[in-house]
Amino acid sequence: MLKHELVHPQINEILGRAGHHSKILIADGNYPAWNKRGPNAELVCLNLSPGVVTVAQVLKAIMSAVVLDEINTMGIPPDDPYAQAGDPPVWNEYREVIKAGGSELELKPIQKWDFYDAVASPDHVLTIQTADQSLWANLLLTMGCRT
């Protein structure tokens, strides 16, 4: 029996094959997951119904299973009306999950179109599609090394 919180067999298999610098996208319900992914990325759909499951729930499970070097959000373009409101509320939820997981990593935004380019990398091994309805909820994780 697995000891960490992540029990999804396909996700565990992909993470087990991945290594340092591999990228994991946890996509919200609005992200075009099928056509915006790297050439080596597998897609796992966990979007059961609106709001089930969320990006934060997946982040918590992933953090229980692998070491992360970086966590990037999709940055909001300055001309987007939402940009004037500051960080999206869901980012504070991510910060709580990160802290509760014992990590001191900070969220690092990558501007929207650069985010899509980062996802298109050959290092991108996995997209987990959620049904999260929060705005600007996408996360791009970079796996670290076990020490």
Instruction: List, for residues 1-36, the tens digit of each pLDDT value.
Output: 678 999 999 999 999 999 999 999 999 999 999 999
What residue ranges define each of the domains in the chain, with the CATH number in brackets? 9-143 (3.40.1650.10)
Instruction: List, for residues 67-78, the tens digit of each pLDDT value.
Output: 999 999 999 988
pLDDT at 146 over 90: no
In whole angstroms, what is the distance from residue 22 CA to residue 15 CA?
9
How high is the pLDDT of residue 1? 66
Give just the sign of the alpha carbon dihedral 53, 135, 15, 97.
negative
Q: The whole model's pTM is what?
A: 0.96
H or E segment and range at residue 99: helix 89-100
Please calculate the CA angle 135-144-42 and round it to the nearest 5 degrees.
Answer: 60
Instruction: List, for residues 76-101, the tens digit of each pLDDT value.
Output: 988 888 877 889 999 999 999 999 99
27, 129 contact by CB (below 8 A)? yes
Q: Which of 137, 110, 119 is nearest to 43 (CA)?
A: 119
